[in-house]
C-alpha cells in the first residue's frame, strides 16, 4: 500500500500503487485474483491463470478496462518494528542503497533535504526492522499538531524548510529513542495530517522511477530544474520498487528507486503553466536516464513523453478496444493520451472476451 492509509482498494489497484515496503514490487505483485465487471456487463474472474490478458491490463489500468468488484490479496503479518535513522550524503546514495538491498529490512525510505542551500545534498534514511509479531497497537500520533505546523510552515519559507530538516534529523530520533511501533501503526497515517487546506493554493505530487545506478545523476539534474523554476518543493521521499513485468502500464519494468516529490502551487494560471513546464523537464530528465514517471497526477506530460515512458501503450489500447469497444470507461488520462484517432480493428482476442 501507499505510505498513507486514505485510499480505496479499487483505486490503489487501479493505479498499481507502491509504498515503503522494502524492496518489494508494486501492489500488483500481491494480487492473486480479482473479479471484474466488463463494459458488456459480464463479470469475469482474473488471475495469472485465468483471463491473464485482462489481469495485466486492469491492474494499473485506471478503471479503463472494467470495474474491479473484489480482490484476493496476499497479505503479511503485522510485526513490531524498530526504527534506525542515519543521515547520508546524496552523493553516496547509490552505494548506500545498494548495500541496504541485501539487508533484512521490512520498511525503508529516505527523506531528502529541500532547503535551497541543501537541496539534494543530504538525506535522512529510515529503516524499520522487525523484532517479531506486533506487540503494540495503533496508537495516537501525539504530536500531530506540531508535525502539521512544522510541515506547513515550510511553505514558501526556506527558514521553515531548514527548521523541518533539523526537527526530523535531530529532534525526531530523541522522541523515537528505542521505541518500537507496529507495522499497522506506521501505515495508519492519514493524508489529512499534512493536507493543504487553503483555497489559494494546492499541493501537487510527482513521482519518478529511476534505475538505481542513475539516481545521483537524477538528483543533480532535478536540483538544477527545481532551483531554476518558480515552484515550491515541500517534500521528497525515496523508496525502492522491485520490477513489475506483469502489468501493461508498468512504471518499473526493472528494479527502480522512486522519487516522490510534493510541491505547493498557487491556484493561478501562471503557476499552473510553470508547474507544467517544470514537470515536463523533470520527466525528460527521468526518461534520459532510462526512468519513467507516475500516471495518477496532473496530466502535464506530453503525449510523446507518455509513449516513451510506457512503451506497451499500444497493447493497452488494443486490450481496451477489444474489451470496451464503445469506450464506456473514460477519464482525462484516456482522453489525453490514449483515445485512438481512428477506430481500432478488433483482434482475434474476441473469442477470449467473455460474451
Ligand atoms: C497525498 C497523497 C499521497 C500519495 N502517496 C502515494 C504513495 O505513497 N504511493 C503511491 O503509489 N501512490 C500514492 N498516491 C497516489 C494514490 O495511490 C492514487 O491517487 C490512488 O488512486 C488513490 O486512491 P483513490 O482511492 O483515491 O483512487 P481514485 O482516485 O478514486 O481512483 C484512481 C483510479 O482508479 C480507478 N478506480 C477506482 N476504483 C476502481 C474500481 N473498483 N475498479 C476499477 N477502477 C477503479 C478510478 O477510476 C481512477 O482511474 C498518493 C496520492 C496522494 C493524494
pLDDT tens profile 125-161: 999 999 999 999 888 766 778 888 889 999 999 999 9
**201 and 136 together in one domain:** yes
Mutate to test the pocket of ligand 1, among 188, 293, 296 (most ligand atoms within 8 A of CB): 296
Q: What gap in Å lies between CA 242 and CA 258, rounded to an integer?
A: 10
Same domain, yes or no, for 65 and 119?
no
Kindly give the distance from the C-alpha atom of residue 11 to the centroid of ligand 1, in angstroms, as a whole number. Answer: 4
Same domain, 251 and 330: no
> β-pairing, 232-241 with 256-266?
antiparallel
Instruction: Classify residue 48: in a domain, yes or no.
Output: yes
Grid coordinates of 102: 541485501
Q: Are residues 181 and 291 in the same domain?
A: yes
Which stretches of the chain are assigned E, i.e. beta strand? Answer: 31-37, 43-47, 67-73, 79-89, 107-112, 122-133, 180-182, 201-210, 232-241, 256-266, 292-293
CATH number for the domain spanning 319: value is 3.30.465.10
CA 182 to CA 213: how far, in whole Å?
32
Burial 147-181 (b: 16+ CB within 10 A, else e): beebbbebeeeeebbbebbeebbeebeeeeeeebb
Number of independent structural domains in the chain = 2
Q: State which H helix or E strand residue 148 sits in.
A: helix 144-152
How big is the chain, counted in residues?
Answer: 355
Q: How far apart are CA 233 and CA 223, in angstroms?
A: 11
Do 154 and 178 lie in one domain? The reply is yes
Position 13 in a domain? yes
Q: What is the pLDDT of residue 246?
A: 97
28 is a domain residue: yes
Instruction: Report the residue among 1, 2, 69, 261 best suited for mutation to probe ligand 1: largest number of ligand atoms under 8 A from its CB.
Output: 2
25, 128, 237, 244 from 255: Cα distances, Å: 8, 21, 17, 8
283 vs 344, higher pLDDT: 283
Distance 158 CA to ligand 1 centre (A): 31
Lowest mean pLDDT of 7-11, 124-128, 180-184, 347-351, name the range.
347-351
Decide if pLDDT at 171 tops 80.
yes
Residue 200 lies in a domain: yes
Q: Is 1 a member of any domain?
A: no
Q: Is residue 100 part of a domain?
A: yes
| CB of 219 shorter than 6 A to ligand 1 | no
Could you report the per-residue pLDDT of 73-103, keeping only the tens digit for each? 999 999 999 999 999 999 999 999 999 999 9
* CA 328 / ligand 1 centre spacing (Å): 20
| 318: containing domain | 9-75+312-352
**Ligand 1 proximity of 7 Cβ (cutoff 6 Å):** yes
Both 140 and 220 in one domain: the answer is yes
pLDDT band at 5 (very low <50, low <70, confident <90, very high): very high
Mark whether 240 and 173 lie in a shared domain: yes
Is 269 within a domain?
A: yes
User: Do 124 and 241 share a domain, yes or no?
Assistant: yes
Q: Are residues 197 and 107 in the same domain?
A: yes
**Residue 3 maps to a domain:** no
pLDDT by residue (tens digit) across 252-267?
A: 999 999 999 999 999 9
| Angle subtended at Cα 17 by Cα 118 and Cα 138, rounded to the nearest 5 degrees | 80
Q: Based on the fold, state whether residues 85 and 68 are members of the same structural domain.
A: no
Ligand 1 centre to CA of 9 (Å) is 8
Mapping DSSP to helix (H, G, I), strand (E, B) and coil, where does residue 327 land? coil
Give the CATH number for residue 189: 3.30.70.2520
Specify whether 70 is located in the same domain as 100: no
CA of 251 to the centre of ligand 1 (A): 15
Residue 118 sits in the same domain as residue 44: no
Question: If you average pLDDT over residues 32-57, what whole number do you get?
Answer: 98
Is 90 exceeded by the pLDDT of residue 174? no
Residue 282 Cα to ligand 1 middle (Å): 22
pLDDT at 310 over 90: yes
Q: Looking at residue 179, what is its pLDDT?
A: 84
Atom of ligand 1 nearest to the CA of 9: 25
Amino acid at each position: 500500500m501507499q505510505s498513507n492509509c486514505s485510499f480505496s482498494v479499487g483505486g490503489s489497484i487501479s493505479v498499481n500503487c507502491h509504498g515503503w515496503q522494502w524492496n518489494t514490487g508494486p501492489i500488483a505483485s500481491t494480487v492473486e485474483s480479482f473479479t471484474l465487471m466488463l463494459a458488456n456487463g459480464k463479470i469475469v474472474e482474473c488471475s495469472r491463470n485465468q483471463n491473464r490478458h485482462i489481469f495485466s491490463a486492469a491492474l494499473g489500468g485506471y478503471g479503463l478496462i472494467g470495474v474491479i468488484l473484489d480482490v484476493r490479496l496476499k497479505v503479511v503479518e503485522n510485526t513490531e518494528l524498530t526504527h534506525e535513522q542515519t543521515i547520508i550524503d546524496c552523493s553516496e546514495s547509490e552505494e548506500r542503497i545498494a548495500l541496504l538491498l541485501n539487508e533484512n529490512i521490512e520498511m525503508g525510505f529516505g527523506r531528502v533535504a529541500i532547503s535551497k542551500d541543501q537541496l539534494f545534498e543530504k538525506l535522512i534514511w529510515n529503516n524499520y526492522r522487525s523484532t517479531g509479531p506486533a506487540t503494540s497497537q495503533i496508537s495516537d500520533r501525539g504530536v500531530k499538531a506540531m508535525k502539521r505546523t512544522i510541515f506547513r510552515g515550510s511553505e514558501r519559507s526556506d527558514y521553515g524548510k531548514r527548521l523541518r530538516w533539523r526537527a526530523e534529523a535531530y529532534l525526531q530520533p530523541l522522541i523515537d529513542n528505542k521505541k518500537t511501533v507496529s507495522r499497522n501503526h506506521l501505515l495508519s497515517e492519514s493524508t489529512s495530517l499534512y493536507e493543504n487546506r487553503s483555497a489559494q493554493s494546492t499541493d501537487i505530487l510527482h513521482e519518478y522511477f529511476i534505475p538505481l545506478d542513475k539516481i545521483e545523476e537524477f538528483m543533480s539534474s532535478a536540483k538544477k530544474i527545481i532551483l531554476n523554476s518558480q515552484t515550491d518543493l515541500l517534500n521528497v521521499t525515496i523508496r525502492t520498487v522491485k520490477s513489475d513485468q506483469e502489468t501493461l502500464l508498468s512504471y518499473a519494468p526493472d528494479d527502480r528507486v522512486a522519487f516522490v516529490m510534493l510541491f505547493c502551487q498557487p491556484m493561478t494560471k501562471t503557476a499552473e503553466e510553470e508547474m507544467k513546464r517544470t514537470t515536463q523537464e523533470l520527466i525528460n530528465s527521468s526518461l534520459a536516464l532510462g526512468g519513467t514517471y507516475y500516471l495518477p497526477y496532473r496530466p502535464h506530460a506530453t503525449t510523446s513523453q507518455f509513449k516513451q515512458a510506457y512503451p506497451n501503450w499500444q497493447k493497452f489500447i488494443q486490450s481496451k478496444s477489444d474489451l470496451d469497444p464503445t469506450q464506456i470507461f473514460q477519464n482525462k488520462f484516456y482522453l489525453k493520451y490514449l483515445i485512438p484517432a481512428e477506430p481500432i480493428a478488433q483482434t482475434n482476442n474476441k473469442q477470449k472476451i467473455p460474451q
